[in-house]
Structure 1
Amino acid sequence: MTATVHVTPLGDLIDHDTDADDNSCICGPTTVPIELGHGLIAWAYVHPSLDGRERAEGD
């Protein structure tokens, strides 16, 4: 059994595509496997912001 979740930034410059079960959003999300135990794996698509807030957090 697998599950898919999308992690998206709030209030970004675009509405991120979270309808698909893949990483087809224009922002180029990273696919991360998450082991849930008992043989279960969830796939998380982590969407970066397009407004650059990640760069500001590193300062």
Structure 2
Amino acid sequence: MVTEPWLLSVAAVAEKIGVCKQTVYNWIYREGLPTIVIGGRRFVDPDSLRKWIKGREQQLV
């Protein structure tokens, strides 16, 4: 059984979704993707990422 990490780095989010890191940073700063800052690095909670994506899908409908 593979468990999902508690937090994803910006690079991990980019890889998981198939976009570049700059796109993820744009989502963070311009579109409100929620992050957690630890030691100066930004991380994304996987559950928050799923909710954010679902919210964007609903806006497009």
Q: How does the TM-score come out when normalised to structure 2?
A: 0.30
The structure with the largest strand share of the pair is 1
Q: Judging by fraction of residues, say which structure has more helix.
A: 2
TM-score for both structures, normalised by structure 1? 0.30
| Bigger RCO (CA 8 Å, 6+ sep) | 1
Larger radius of gyration: 1
